[in-house]
Amino acid sequence: MKFVGELERKEWSNLTYVEVEPNTWYENASRLLDSGYLYPQMLTAIDWPAEKKIQVLFVTHRFKDSHTVAMSTKIDRENRELPTLTDLYPGIEWQENEAYEMFGIDFVGHPDYKRWGRIRKILLSEDPRLFPKDRYPLLKDSGGYKNLPKVNWNEIEGTDREKEGLRDDLVYVYVGPQHPATHGPVGFLLGLRGEIVEDVIPRLGYVHRGVEWIFEQKEYSKIIPLLDRQCYVDGIGWEIPYVLAVEEIMNVKVDERANLLRILAAELSRIQSHILYIGSFLENINHLTGFAWTVRDREVFINLLEMLTGQRMTFNYLRIGGVARDLPQGFRDLTEKVIAKFDKHLDKLIDISLVNPTVAIRADGVAPVSAEDAIKYGWTGPNLRASGVAWDYRINKPYMGYDSVDFEGAIGNKGDILDRMLVRFEEIRQSLNIVRQVLKSLTTRGDLGKHYKRAPPFPRQSGIAYGIHESARGENGVLVVANPKDPRARMKPWRVHMRSPVFIHTMSLKYLGRGLLLQDFLANYISLDTCVAEMDR
């Protein structure tokens, strides 16, 4: 595809990187849309104080030929302004919000201007008593999250700044951050008419820890244990994209055996995450027996992961260039036993959940999302596939040796809650299949344990890479920027950005959650598979 004002073009391992002039930003985006790049994957920014520039990066997929483009532009650091892309790619709206609060980039024409008169902060507080108003923490000279004002919580009340944009004809109810259905400290301000949700204002950021800033203070290998903690259910899903990106910058080759072990860990993690997903949905519609059963079934897979990685939830298993440890003795036999037993449990689980009429009426035909909407709002993973889009990053763009295993993707057609559950059930089956295959091809003798030590601890030359992994919740993307020329970042990354699918799914409820009953809204929210730690980062 031809770009206007193209400055630079590079082929990365998984995408084409194009740098354009800032004044052609919007035009190039609309050209991308016209040539079939429908899917807004990621938008973020990188600060380059030495050049007095801020680089904005926009990643988009084309499903037809599985091609990905990263369009980038460098804007003036003093005058941070860009036209918004939300009218082309509605799913980019909240990522622009994030780029605004982290870098202070003013996206002209952002939808928030219409309702609030300003771009809203999502993760940081809008109250200057809690977070300084003009501080954009990811700018290198801003001071980050250090020296925040001391807050006397006894005196402060009412820190939310949403009141002025509310509609008069609705009753607003705070759902969360302390609410049994939100499964973590996240909130919604719901405008209700009767019990029908007419207006949704997601309220995030209660557990925002500023990890992207913390990553910049740590050496490359010390970031991996922190990544696990971003999603405590599917931790491997965050280690993989980071490691992939760093390996691309450093040009490190990974053994086939290490790749198989990574796939093994990723799929075991996916299985237990999906099982918990089914449980949390059943819990949300008050089917507590199903929830208890899923917790029991998940336990055996956590035990397997503990045996493989040494940890139950925060694995710290991957290393740059390999994995931390080899397959433990007896793992294969135990896994076969566990899978054989779980197969029976899975049938029972389907009996109690999908075959159960009281569950089926809560899921069937509820909150359907069309394929167009799912693509438009940037949905990924099982939720996208439930809407009938055949896009699985493991299949469409095999990475990390996924082409060596034989499996099928799951796909729905209506995009309702039932389809989302069915896709997850099918993916559990396929992942069990992958685990069996991987264990068959992993020979008992391997020389693992040395090769990752051959990889250098940090890159010597600057570079940018974007690792994408199809995790249990969607496409986890991690952007890693290395800039060892700067003394501050010799052994540390210059910038790490996490593209969280949960953040995008939850924010898209702003538009997709309207018109549902309160009960259905919450079931819909849970059916998108939530994880608040990852949402807030």
Q: Does residue 197 interact with another protein by CB under 8 A?
A: no
Residues 387-446 within binding reach of another protein (CB under 8 A): none
Q: Kindly tell me which of 192 and 448 has the beta carbon lying closer to another protein.
A: 192
Torsion sign across C-alpha atoms 185, 111, 476, 122:
negative
Residues 295-324 within binding reach of another protein (CB under 8 A): 296
Q: Kindly tell me which of 284 and 430 has the beta carbon lying closer to another protein.
A: 284
Beta-strand pair 16-20/67-76: parallel
Query: Residue 360 CA to chain centroid, in angstroms?
Result: 28
Q: Does residue 518 interact with another protein by CB under 8 A?
A: yes
Q: Kindly tell me which of 118 and 296 has the beta carbon lying closer to another protein.
A: 296
Q: Does residue 519 interact with another protein by CB under 8 A?
A: yes
**Helix or strand (DSSP H, E) at 164:** none
For the chain, the distance separating the N- and C-terminal CA atoms, rounded to the nearest angstrom, is 35
Q: Kindly tell me which of 286 and 329 has the beta carbon lying closer to another protein.
A: 286
184 exposure class (CB count in 10 Å sphere: 0-12, 13-18, 19+): middle
- The candidate with the shortest Cα–Cα distance to 513, out of 192, 231, 212, 70, is 192
Q: Does residue 348 interact with another protein by CB under 8 A?
A: no
Q: From the CB of 513, what's the least distance to another protein, in Å?
A: 14
Distance CA 17, CA 472 (A): 27
Q: Kindly tell me which of 54 and 359 has the beta carbon lying closer to another protein.
A: 359
Q: From the CB of 366, what's the least distance to another protein, in Å?
A: 8
Q: Does residue 354 interact with another protein by CB under 8 A?
A: no
Q: From the CB of 284, what's the least distance to another protein, in Å?
A: 5
Q: Kindly tell me which of 264 and 285 has the beta carbon lying closer to another protein.
A: 285
Q: Does residue 330 interact with another protein by CB under 8 A?
A: no
Q: Does residue 338 interact with another protein by CB under 8 A?
A: no
Distance CA 372, CA 379 (A): 10
How many CB atoms within 10 Å of residue 75? Answer: 19
Q: How many residues bind another protein (CB under 8 A)?
A: 31
Residues 158-187 within binding reach of another protein (CB under 8 A): 171, 173, 179-181
Binding characters for another protein, 109-148, by CB under 8 A (x = yes): ----------------------------------------
By three-state DSSP, how is residue 181 classified?
Answer: coil
Could you say which DSSP state residue 486 is in? S
Strand order in the sheet with 463-470: 463-470, 475-482, 495-499
Tell me the β-bridge partners of 480.
Answer: 465, 496
Residues that bind another protein (CB under 8 A): 171, 173, 179-181, 192, 194-195, 282-290, 292-293, 296, 352, 356, 358-359, 361-362, 517-520, 522
